[in-house]
Structure 1
């Protein structure tokens, strides 16, 4: 039964990848989907024997609206590659949000990757697993994918035209928690070595956390993300381990922080707490809190708002720190 379920999951994942590739080939111009895909785990992700969820791609946009796709119950984690016409020698791994129930493709993934690629960055959109789908590693499943993804990107640096010492992680919302977890727990051994790529460091050269879920503390947590990650009644030890602001050490890379004060989904206190923790350890950090912007603005919901300045602010910060 488990073998049949695994075969079904692989078949469904293959259909999804094939569908995206066919769609990309049928489209033309800068908005076409990329067809270059890197599988994270050659023999499948670790700890998936009890996983039965079926990977599902959903189009959520209203008729005539901007494309808004989401991938849920991810069974085969991947990196989707966006290559720049003129590489600047740096790379960015993107972890879009989705409340730890799904990963959004367009708003925080592909659109951001296209913007960054237009400025010379080689970009990789990470489709990471959901912690509530039954993986043996539970809340560490997304971190496993983030560590493995960063190492695979680093292992391909020379071949793809960027420096292995100039790789950033950028995460949004719950994807911001994935990025913050990688930033603080890059050295944690959360999976067994697969190949030579795993001998490389998973530490990003720079981290950007955009309206991120940070804390698991009930005072200002994002309830949905915490429930998906840790269940209904996490222990104090779990709250501590999976709250990145409590895992900050002096070994962290520079961190860029961005939030809107009127965010009603993920309280701005998440970013404030991370900033305070970083400053306490003298980590180079820059925080921008805008009066207006709400949650999930990405690039598409910033028009005529001061928060529209954020991509340029990130680029300035990144260049100042060698990226």
Structure 2
């Protein structure tokens, strides 16, 4: 495996792309270029968790795919702990929307640039994210072909096209988020919610126009890629209505999707196995089935071009 860390900006060290590239040597080179999965960990746009990074990358690598982990911009600028939200958050203009989804585009371009060396099939790159990372991936999946990304990066949209998206317990609708939490009797603690909104958008009180712009379930088009979505009905931070709203939007636009809602489990399961867990509470045999289900779903689109 080829593991390297690339800085996406010359002047910053907190935004990086880490490669988990299968080192196809000798007879393995006969398999040709492989599909890839680009992973965005969660962290409420305030920080990033390691639990949804490398363990997930290694899981996809074990399926025969190249994997990449993007550490995108967040309020703590690379520090792996949350800010003291009780003190309030300062405004950080260079860390707010739309920077996060643009950085997925930067990562896609970097992968494309090295595709011949790494043997990556650039036409089959899936984007995968969890929680806020799932929101970032969903945002990219509805905006990848729009000027807000293409003009900023100055490239053809075809270099940026995601082939599929995989979302774990994603936030997809800022307009209805608080309402969904009330309906589910699992309202996210208000101070934390406001801090997350400010870390992402730059203000605790965004306008309705802005909220709609950052709600991917309201922005699905025929250009949105197929999706695999999973969540748990006991999630105390992101209500399952958020996953379901995106599924309905995909259905309305005839975009292929698969969705799984597991009965038990809290927010932030990642793999839901000991490979990604810090406590036993983060292990759940039922929820862990999302990964083999995703593997089967991916195989329909990403199977290797092997001879019979």
Distance 1:283 1:308 in 2: 25
Establish whether residue 38 from structure 1 lines up as the match of residue 6 from structure 2: yes
Instruction: State TM-score, norm by structure 2.
Output: 0.77
Distance 1:160 1:170 in 2: 20
Residues 292-301 or 174-183, more deviating: 292-301
Match for residue 247 of structure 2? 275
CA contact (8 A) 1:91 1:123 kept: yes
CA contact (8 A) 1:154 1:200 kept: no
Match of 2:56 among 103, 107, 112: 112
Match of 2:17 among 68, 76, 79: 79
Establish whether residue 250 from structure 1 lines up as the match of residue 222 from structure 2: yes
Indicate how the Cα distance of structure 1 residues 312 and 220 shifts in structure 2: closer, same or farther if over 3 A, else same.
same
Gaps of 5+ in 2: 25-30, 76-89, 182-187, 304-308
Indicate how the Cα distance of structure 1 residues 136 and 303 shifts in structure 2: closer, same or farther if over 3 A, else same.
closer
Q: How many residues align?
A: 259
TM-align CA RMSD: 2.4
SS of the residue 1:292 aligns to: coil
Question: Counterparts in 2 of 1:183-222, with a 5 A limit?
Answer: 183-190=141-148, 201-217=159-175, 218-220=178-180
Establish whether residue 181 from structure 1 lines up as the match of residue 152 from structure 2: no
Gaps of 5+ in 1: 1-29, 46-74
* Bigger RCO (CA 8 Å, 6+ sep): 2
CA contact (8 A) 1:78 1:127 kept: yes
Residues 81-90 or 256-265, more deviating: 81-90
Question: Counterparts in 2 of 1:1-323, with a 5 A limit?
Answer: 36-41=4-9, 43-44=10-11, 76-85=14-23, 89-105=34-50, 107-130=51-74, 134-136=92-94, 138-190=96-148, 201-217=159-175, 218-220=178-180, 223=193, 224-230=195-201, 231-299=203-271, 300=273, 303-322=283-302
Shift of 1:153: 1.4
CA contact (8 A) 1:169 1:204 kept: yes
Match for residue 12 of structure 1? none
CA contact (8 A) 1:91 1:122 kept: yes
SS of the residue 1:262 aligns to: coil
